[in-house]
Amino acid sequence: GENVEQHPSTLSVQEGDSAVIKCTYSDSASNYFPWYKQELGKRPQLIIDIRSNVGEKKDQRIAVTLNKTAKHFSLHITETQPEDSAVYFCAARDNYGQNFVFGPGTRLSVLP
Amino acid sequence: NAGVMQNPRHLVRRRGQEARLRCSPMKGHSHVYWYRQLPEEGLKFMVYLQKENIIDESGMPKERFSAEFPKEGPSILRIQQVVRGDSAAYFCASSPPNRGDYEQYFGPGTRLTVT
């Protein structure tokens, strides 16, 4: 089955700097890769996603890149703000079973 | 279009009682997923259901836990004879039928406390 790893587990950046979170997956059949942001006590919220037929996607300060050959994808946040502080989860969707496998999460702290 | 709904939001049970958690998917969504999250930890997959079918229950404990998604009504996650270790946030998520739309959206969660 699919296995998703995520690094780093914690990340601290200064406000205005960029943050990068990386995930790797094991199943080459996975075809959809979402990213979720979870604030303390709240539900995970979908912030951006990418499909296997696309290499990069951008939405304002957030971008995701996908390298299918290497089986890894990354979240990039530019011009970070204190409200970006949260736990971020990556996931991969198994094309066969249609299930989602989540990474263990990255706790991002943006220091003012 | 209402989002994914879960109730109750908070549930307190004594050891040995039963807990029933409900999830109503977004309109038009026919796939439901249940996850458990302990404080400061990640999302642990429990079960994936479609209407009247359990597709993948590989994350469900073998005893005391069951899930259903009937033809009519919400999906139910049932925990019998709860123990303190069942205390966690339980999130439900839904996604559309597999016609090229894959987005999965989460409900607000049910926070179960076992005393």
pLDDT digits (tens, 9 = 90+) for A66-111: 999 999 999 999 999 999 999 999 999 876 667 889 999 999 999 9
Burial class (CB in 10 A: 0-12, 13-18, 19+), B99: exposed
Determine, for residues A98 and B31 on separate chains, whether the beta-carbon distance falls below 8 Å: yes
* pLDDT for position A83: 96
Determine, for residues B108 and A43 on separate chains, whether the beta-carbon distance falls below 8 Å: yes
* pLDDT for position A39: 96
**CB-based contact B87:B110 (threshold 8 Å):** no
pLDDT of B99 above 60: no
Cis, peptide link before residue B74, omega less than 30° from 0: no
Mutate to test the interface with B, among A31, A46, A94, A100 (most CBs of B within 10 A): A100
Determine, for residues A103 and B31 on separate chains, whether the beta-carbon distance falls below 8 Å: no
* pLDDT for position A86: 97
**B6, closest residue in chain A (CA to CA):** A43
- Chain A hits for B35, CB-CB cut-off 8 Å, are 102
Mutate to test the interface with A, among B32, B46, B102, B105 (most CBs of A within 10 A): B102
Q: How far is CA B32 from CA A17, B41, B56, B89, in A?
A: 38, 22, 11, 16
Counting residues of chain A whose pLDDT is more than 70, the rounded percentage is 97
Bridging pattern class, strands A10-14 and A106-111: parallel
Mean pLDDT, chain A, integer: 94
Determine, for residues B43 and A101 on separate chains, whether the beta-carbon distance falls below 8 Å: no
